[in-house]
Chains A and B, each alone.
Chain A
């Protein structure tokens, strides 16, 4: 039997994902032993998994270097890779929103040249091009995006929002919701075909697991 390789996002998704995988019988002891290994193996189930930057997970999966990936929907939208998105794992839920100063609410269309600050240039562009049908100037930032409208770098921002507290404290409001975000399971297009039995079994297992957690 071939090894199935899973790419996992390093960060807030890691522990939740590990619990889920353990729940369906994947042996994660090698990972929990906190060795310096980069790739962990479950010999019994013939599964390998590794951790990488979330933004890289779709890349590994698209090229087939990993058969399966666990990653946030925000990363998937931003990377726009060719892969199969098969399961909503539900956790790490938040929203991708368009936000700006409160006085812009309902008056967005009156703003001619829009400068949009964001960590997600692709999502911002697609949202404006397809949903609002207009061209924008995207300003790519790497963090603290809320700052941009406050100091006049941009009129609005596109960013992830969990509770909305940061926005509120800075006098910003949500102008529109672009997408609901949560962790997703993605599968390489070829792996889905060549290993469909094992992968489908895994999907079913995870689904059951999620139902248990959900109730």
Chain B
């Protein structure tokens, strides 16, 4: 009956002291960045209707969602992302607000067997969405903020790859292949499955020059000169416009001074159907999964009943924590500056002293064990607290420095006026 009570389900984790401290700090830094860029934060429900995420065929594969029922028998899900709820909000609320609408969010999402959280079923996403604007400037802003967020988190070595899904769509138009075949090609290119692609193209009738370009697609990544090289290889208008779009975004990013972080990957095609333009992924050492993904999705809000272009990104906080740890970036840890204990008569003084020190910004623990100063010192030493203040009388304090083992006697007034412990 209670067989599972001491375990946690697969894919979820307890986040304990040090990690939680790091996580909150990261979230705070990222939240401050989003705020400073004018992105207002929203919180969407953890539970949504299944229908919200299945508006478009294959928007979120149903087998990746946690499902249950409400009292009327309707299907509910734990939100698998926050981009879709933001699209729902935009289509149904904020009708009077001028464009662009700028959203930010930090929250947990839930997915079975997805690599977005590094194989965890519950993970924290932080992201922004810009709605109502379709300029290259808006794409560039989102990418720039993504880069700033990684920097704010403390990462230095990372790379953002930028692709453009319209380039691929243009080529596919020309091949006149069936929808299903295009889906297959898309996933093979995204997997850089050169081998499968070759076999597939051999068995299909496609113009020679087009065939060659499609075969090259998985390899079309690297520095920005990829664009100039590809430009000469196709005359498809949609594809050329896509290339021009990437070039513009890169130019803007150059003025942001962020060129060194970005490169081009025209063979990057996410599985999602709602991508309509620029898309990008972020990578760093030590984590085998992309730490952030983003892009333009001009058709998504429309599926909720309002036409509205959109772009945004989300990053995985848990993956960034993993990267920081693996890259041995110095990480802040929680710590207690001093611990106050007291003899009976010193209690009131101890509380007053504690209040003053905390107000000064120190982290102070009060002794609640009443086990005596020696036991308290032992506890403090194990916990790595630097000093113990023993209030032995109404106005007498012993300062026990646990590093030097020195004991100094002083009074409350002296201590507070001296300002140093």
Contacts and interface: CB of A to CB of B under 8 A. Distances in A.
Contacts of B191: 82-85
A191 B284 CA distance: 9
A189 interface: yes
Contact of B284 (A82, A88, A187, A190): A190
A87 interface: yes
B283 A194 contact: yes
A192 interface: yes
Nearest to B184: A130
B119 A85 contact: no
Interface in A79-93: 82-88
Interface string A30-70: 00000000000000000000000000000001111100000
A190 B289 contact: yes
B103 interface: no
Nearest to A193: B283
Interface stretch (B25-33, B136-144, B193-201, B354-362): B193-201
A124 B332 CA distance: 50
A132 interface: no
Contacts of A84: 191-193, 218
Nearest to B188: A85
B120 interface: no
B64 to A, nearest CB: 13
B324 to A, nearest CB: 15
A192 B289 CA distance: 11
Interface string B154-193: 0001010100000000000000000000000000000111
B194 A188 contact: no
A196 B119 contact: no
B194 to A, nearest CB: 6
Nearest to B288: A64
Contacts of B218: 84
B290 interface: yes
Contacts, number: 61
Contact of A85 (B196, B221, B285, B290): B196
B288 A188 contact: yes
Interface of A is mostly: mixed
B222 interface: yes
B284 A194 contact: yes
Interface in B247-282: 263, 265
Interface string A78-119: 000011111110000000000000000000000000000000
Q: How large is the interface on A (under 10, 10 to 19, 20 to 34, 35 or more residues)?
A: 20 to 34
Contacts of A63: 119, 288
Interface string A1-18: 010000000000000000
Interface string A188-215: 1111111010000000000000000000
Q: How large is the interface on B (under 10, 10 to 19, 20 to 34, 35 or more residues)?
A: 20 to 34
**Residue of A188, A191, A194 with most partner-chain B CB within 10 A:** A194
B194 A190 contact: no
A133 B283 CA distance: 38
Interface of B is mostly: mixed
A66 B283 CA distance: 16
A190 B323 CA distance: 12
B195 A64 contact: no
Contacts of B159: 193-194
A73 B193 CA distance: 11
A180 interface: yes
A193 to B, nearest CB: 5
Contacts of A192: 192
B115 interface: yes
B82 to A, nearest CB: 22
B313 to A, nearest CB: 17
B221 A196 contact: yes
A191 B195 CA distance: 19
Contacts of A196: 221-222
Contacts of A62: 115, 288
Contact of B289 (A64, A85, A180): A64
Contact of A190 (B119, B195, B265, B290): B290
Contacts of A87: 194-195
Contact of B288 (A2, A88, A190): A190
B363 interface: no
Contacts of B412: none
A30 B263 CA distance: 37
A73 B265 CA distance: 25
A45 B195 CA distance: 27
Contact of B283 (A61, A83, A184, A190): A190
B287 interface: yes
Contacts of B192: 84-86, 187, 192
A65 B221 CA distance: 23
Contact of B194 (A61, A65, A86): A86
**Residue of A62, A64, A85, A193 with most partner-chain B CB within 10 A:** A193
A193 B218 CA distance: 12
Which 8 pairs between the two chains have the least Cβ-Cβ distance? A64-B288, A84-B192, A88-B195, A190-B283, A85-B193, A193-B283, A63-B288, A188-B288
6 contacts: A64-B286, A189-B290, A190-B285, A193-B159, A193-B161, A193-B265
Given A85-B192, A190-B285, 14 more contacts: A61-B288, A62-B288, A73-B195, A85-B191, A85-B193, A86-B192, A87-B194, A87-B195, A180-B199, A193-B159, A193-B161, A193-B221, A193-B265, A194-B159
